[in-house]
């Protein structure tokens, strides 16, 4: 094929099968080479389906390769890349699953996808020193409540009415029990490896407040309203130890 055509027109035609072969994409005879361009277009489509499958392996295992591939093809057909960086592609796949009628028999699938998306973000996040227990201990007790904590770049909280953390873990390690019930999961990367940690509901509420910008005092008070037995000191130490927060703090 001879390609004398603008990149934008070429890219648009590759991603949209309803568009004609771009002007300038011709065979050796000088006419539009629809068959060869269709092969190229199909290869791009298949490649994007592969990106989705690589990003959501647990989801693919849960529903089976055939079903997942069909679902991913529908997603790719209506969701085109907006960035040349493929790690950003399909970040909204969970929302697509929620609206996909065929996935309704697996009601936890969208939340598992959210967990896998958080894992992908954590894996590719920039390196940053997490808040250490020593740094936390150095803050004056009387001032502790007025401090806010910055979320670590790799940290994300995923809350679900289903045991998504256990489901994810069961697909990565043998012997993990999956029991019915809600789970809150903190995805973090304090070091080289991504951690997926199921945390108590009260701790998740406290963590969510802090990650959203609340001071330690405000987050603790709000959580205590819902969980009178909540121990915010224990939770703060536990969350810091698994890399929820950045080493930077702010005084409000």
Average pLDDT over residues 110-129: 96
Q: Tell me the C-alpha distance between 149 and 57, whole Å.
A: 33
Residue 25, pLDDT above cutoff 90: no
pLDDT in tens, 217-235: 899 999 999 999 999 889 9
Average pLDDT over residues 183-193: 95
Residue 114 lies in a domain: no
Identify each DSSP E strand in the chain by its residue range.
2-3, 25-26, 147-151, 156-160, 183-188, 195-199, 245-251
b/e burial code for range 31-63 (CB count within 10 A of at least 16 → b): ebbeeebeeebeeebeebbebbbebbebbbebb
Task: Give percent of the chain with pLDDT exceeding 90.
Answer: 62
Q: Based on the fold, state whether residues 210 and 247 are members of the same structural domain.
A: yes
Residue 146 lies in a domain: yes
Range of the domain at 17: 1-106
Q: Tell me the C-alpha distance between 32 and 1, whole Å.
A: 9
CB 116 within 8 A of CB 59: yes
Rg (CA), the chain: 23
Q: Based on the fold, state whether residues 101 and 178 are members of the same structural domain.
A: no
Question: Given this model, what pLDDT does residue 4 score?
Answer: 43
Q: What is the mean pLDDT of the chain?
A: 86
pLDDT in tens, 136-176: 777 656 666 778 889 999 999 999 999 999 999 999 988 89
Q: Using CB atoms within 10 Å of the CB of residue 20, give its burial: 0 to 12 exposed, 13 to 18 middle, 19+ buried.
A: exposed
CB 149 within 8 A of CB 216: yes
Q: Based on the fold, state whether residues 88 and 14 are members of the same structural domain.
A: yes
Average pLDDT over residues 120-146: 82
Residue 116 lies in a domain: no
Q: Based on the fold, state whether residues 64 and 184 are members of the same structural domain.
A: no
Q: Based on the fold, state whether residues 146 and 231 are members of the same structural domain.
A: yes
CB 244 within 8 A of CB 209: no
Q: Provide the domain count of the chain.
A: 2
Residue 1, pLDDT above cutoff 60: no
């Amino acid at each position: 094929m001879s390609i004398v055509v603008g990149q934008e027109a070429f890219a648009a035609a590759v991603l949209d099968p309803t568009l004609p072969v771009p002007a300038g994409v011709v065979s050796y005879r000088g006419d539009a080479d629809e068959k060869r361009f269709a092969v190229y277009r199909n290869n791009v489509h298949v490649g994007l389906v592969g990106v989705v499958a690589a990003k959501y392996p647990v989801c693919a295992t849960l529903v089976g390769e055939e079903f997942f591939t069909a679902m991913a093809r529908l997603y790719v057909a209506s969701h085109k890349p907006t960035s040349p960086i493929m790690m950003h592609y399909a970040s909204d796949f969970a929302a697509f699953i929620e609206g996909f009628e065929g996935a309704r028999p697996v009601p936890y699938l969208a939340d598992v996808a959210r967990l896998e998306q958080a894992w992908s973000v954590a894996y590719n996040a920039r390196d940053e020193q997490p808040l250490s227990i020593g740094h936390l201990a150095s803050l004056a007790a009387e001032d502790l409540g007025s401090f806010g904590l910055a979320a670590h770049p790799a940290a994300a909280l995923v809350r679900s009415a289903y045991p998504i953390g256990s489901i994810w873990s069961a697909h990565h390690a043998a012997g993990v029990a999956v029991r019915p019930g809600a789970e809150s999961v903190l995805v973090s990367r304090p070091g080289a490896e991504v951690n997926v940690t199921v945390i108590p509901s009260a701790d998740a509420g406290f963590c969510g407040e802090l990650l959203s910008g609340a001071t330690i005092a405000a987050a603790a008070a709000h959580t205590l309203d819902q969980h009178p037995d909540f121990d915010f000191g224990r939770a703060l130490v536990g969350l810091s130890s698994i890399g929820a927060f950045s080493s930077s703090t702010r005084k409000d």
